[in-house]
A and B are shown apart, each in its own frame.
Chain A
Amino acid sequence: MKLDRRRFLQTTSATAAVMAAPGIIGRAAADDTIKMVSILDQSGGLDIYGKPMVDTTVMAVEEINAAGGLLGKQIDLKTYDPQSNIQFYTQFATQAAASDKADVVHAGITSASREAIRATFNRFRTLYFYNTLYEGGVCDRSTYCTGSTPAQTVEKLVPYVMKKWGKKVYIVAADYNYGHITADWVEKYVRDNGGENVATEFFPLDVNNFGTTIKKIQAAKPDLVMSALVGGAHVAFYRQYAAAGMNNSIPIASTTFGVGNEHTLISAEEGNGMIVAYSYLQEIDTPTNKDFVGRFQAKYGADAPYINELAARSYEGAYLWAEGVKKAGSTDLAAVIEALDTPVSYNGPSGKLEVEPKTHHAVQNVYLAELQGQKYNILETYEQQQPADTLLVCDLVKEPNQSKFYFENGLEAAGIK
């Protein structure tokens, strides 16, 4: 079956090349712009992630255009809202690739949506940027995943908090692929650092009553809780944890708390003392970042949402792609990929972001921070972290013609662990 599938992809890329012919003519006619499409949820349950991502994408494109555009052309950005619904992801992906003939598509929040549209972009030979932090493992020649992956953040966070708080760790995680894989990495690094993993518990994404678990944590008496909880409903965990007085006795560390700006959805006293790890935080104290935050707030007002990693990376992802186009001197897929893999880097709000050519992921800075008064105090900065997890399975330099998602069924199935 695997063979058949590959064959299908080959045949389809052949057809795509044929079909691209009229496309090229069409493109030549409207050659005065470069086409970029963004497909991100701006309504439905995922809009807490999607809306800030769209805001920063728009901002990046406007800035690039204001600075004279790319290769002397303006970027024509189209944004589609799939409304947290997978059928609209494929609908808009096909539209972007086959009708808009996009030069690049920045799209996708959940891994499910990314996998659904990645096949379409492969088929139509469309360059694809995925700017969300995720479980890692995508290995695809025409896809670039710029977000952080668990090995990058968890690897730093776990030893730090174990040193600070103790060796007994209790893991709570969202019951889906990302939660499971993140929990696996946490377990690994706890073991590697000589700690003890007391228990791991998984929660469906729509559960918002955590009472019994909090009692279990009280019974287990760990030194710290590692959270890989995700989404609006899971915000309840931190609140109920604090309500039971636990936040003062057993601290929480997380690599997921904050991607949906959870730290503003709970009060200061509930969140104080939590430690997180991300590759971007709004509080990063560099001139580039301060300037970026200032421009963002000027554009979207003082009530603008907190800029989290997803939002910042969407901005940086657009610039990273633009660097690739500049270097290639064209928007041709092969040329841009070649240019990006040289590798291209971009000094953005999060620091230096560089393409890792073997995996098409990003080498990036990782920041450890403590939450105080709904704001993060940065504790540690780890420069230029490699996407170590994806590197274990993926080498696009050796084997360029790949389009796989190695961690589709967890780390064990991928031969790690």
Chain B
Amino acid sequence: MIRSRETRWSLFAAAVGVVFLFAAPQVFELFTIINLTTVLALAILALSLALVWGYGGILCFGQTMFFGLGAYAYTIAAINIGETTAPIFIAIFVAAAFAAILGYFIFYGRVSDVYLAVITLTVTLIFYSLLRSTSGPEYKIGNALLGGFNGVTSPPLNIPGDPSNVLYPEDMFYVAMAALILAYLFCVWLTQTHFGRVMVAIRENELRAELLGYDIRLYKLALFAIGGGIAGMAGVLFANGIGRVTPDIFNLYNTALTIIWVIVGGRGTLIGPVLGAIALFYLTSGLGTQASINNNLVLGIILIVFVLLVPRGILPGVIGIWDRAQSRSKLLRSEKRMRRRRAPRRPEQEAANDG
């Protein structure tokens, strides 16, 4: 019953992550380590969408809204409170709570599919429009001015209980990497629980799940809120990586990009979208260091070639090749076994099955 292979690979992936956590600062240059905070924040954002969309089948076209809410909530809370430990939890709570409210609105209204995509996109764009026009001094929450288009400077994380002891950007890497590993393990665990199986079941067939007595609205809402919370946490890290939150987080480009990461990495896996986000970030930023060919052109061609050659995304593509070799022999064996058992008793059924 327990998908032991998946668990094994997940733990392996997490172990690789832990090795990276300790090895990276020894191997990479300082600037790489500093920049990794941002990259890892985006990776966690991709993970949250991998959970909500890849596992839950909820095509959320506005995952960046929870990401942005987390980033803003963290920044505003930290400015008001004067330390950053509580704001982390406030940010996660705000993002999850908003996801829950929006989820209630969506799922109890039976909105799904592309219509759900448009609602989530639209709400994200509402945040984008509203936040951009908050440049005046009248837009403030507590002591924090919202800053409009230019955004707000985000206070850096401090050691819990010691507000004056702030983390250096390179120390943020440890926090971000640990957060990614923990968030990933949490998601793996979640998919293994009864809740996670029901979510997959709902993705596979909503009506059947309902007919079994599962309240799919509630399950979707719960998953949506969890995904929102994870995205909110990613937002906290992003605010630290950039040192600032701006309404651009909520723009169409970024929210579509999140979808692209998940497709590139592979839907239905958790680690795939994480790798997809990291790969695309470095591909795009790598292109940014050259100026001879237009970056959009190169990136666009790469994505198109990719979708034609690797239709299911990076990870499922690799697994598929691996599996085909494995399962072919397995299938042969089990078929032989079946034939041996059934053939003497029910020859007519074999015939029926063949026809």
Contacts and interface: CB of A to CB of B under 8 A. Distances in A.
Find out whether A and B make contact in their complex, taking CB atoms under 8 A apart as touching: yes
Interface of A: 1, 4-5, 7-8, 11-12, 15, 19, 42-44, 54, 78-83, 85-88, 90-92, 94-95, 97-99, 110-112, 115-116, 119-120, 123, 175-178, 180-181, 202, 204-205, 408-410, 412-413
Contacts of B246: 86, 112, 116
Interface of B: 29-32, 34-35, 38, 42, 78-79, 82, 129, 132-133, 135-137, 143, 145, 147-151, 153, 155-156, 158, 163-164, 166, 168-169, 238, 241-244, 246, 248, 253, 281, 284-285, 287-291, 294-296
Contacts of B153: 5, 115, 119, 408
Contacts of A123: 169
A83 B132 CA distance: 20
A22 B161 CA distance: 34
Given A8-B166, A95-B31, 17 more contacts: A1-B79, A4-B163, A7-B166, A15-B168, A78-B289, A81-B291, A86-B244, A91-B35, A94-B31, A98-B34, A99-B29, A119-B244, A123-B169, A409-B136, A409-B137, A409-B148, A410-B135
A86 B242 contact: yes
Given A12-B168, A43-B294, A87-B38, A80 B243 contact: no
Given A80-B289, A88-B284, A4 B132 contact: no
Most buried by A among B34, B166, B243: B34
A204 B132 CA distance: 8
Contacts of B242: 86-87, 90, 116
A4 B166 contact: yes
A53 to B, nearest CB: 12
A12 B156 CA distance: 12
Contacts of B29: 98-99
Contacts of A112: 149-151, 244, 246, 248
B149 A4 contact: no
29 contacts: A1-B143, A4-B163, A5-B153, A7-B166, A8-B156, A15-B168, A81-B288, A83-B284, A85-B248, A88-B285, A88-B288, A90-B35, A91-B38, A94-B31, A99-B30, A110-B150, A112-B149, A115-B151, A116-B246, A119-B244, A176-B149, A177-B147, A177-B148, A180-B135, A180-B136, A204-B132, A204-B133, A408-B153, A409-B137
Contacts of A180: 135-136, 148
Nearest to A42: B291
A81 B291 CA distance: 7
Contacts of B156: 8
Contacts of B35: 90-91, 94-95
- Enumerate the 6 nearest inter-chain pairs by beta-carbon distance, A residue then B residue, closest first: A176-B149, A98-B31, A413-B137, A177-B135, A409-B145, A99-B31
Contact of B34 (A88, A94, A412): A94
Contacts, number: 151
B170 to A, nearest CB: 9
A97 B316 CA distance: 39
A7 B42 CA distance: 29
Contacts of A78: 289
A116 B166 CA distance: 18
Most buried by A among B30, B166, B288: B288
A410 B137 contact: yes
A97 B31 contact: yes
Contacts of B295: 42-43, 81, 83
A83 B295 CA distance: 8
B129 A204 contact: yes
Contacts of A8: 156, 166
A119 B137 contact: no
Contacts of A95: 31, 35
Contacts of A98: 29-31, 34
A176 B248 contact: no
A87 B145 contact: no
A79 B281 CA distance: 18
B147 A408 contact: yes
Nearest to B290: A81
Given A112-B150, A409-B145, A413-B145, A90 B79 contact: no
Most buried by A among B32, B148, B238, B284: B148
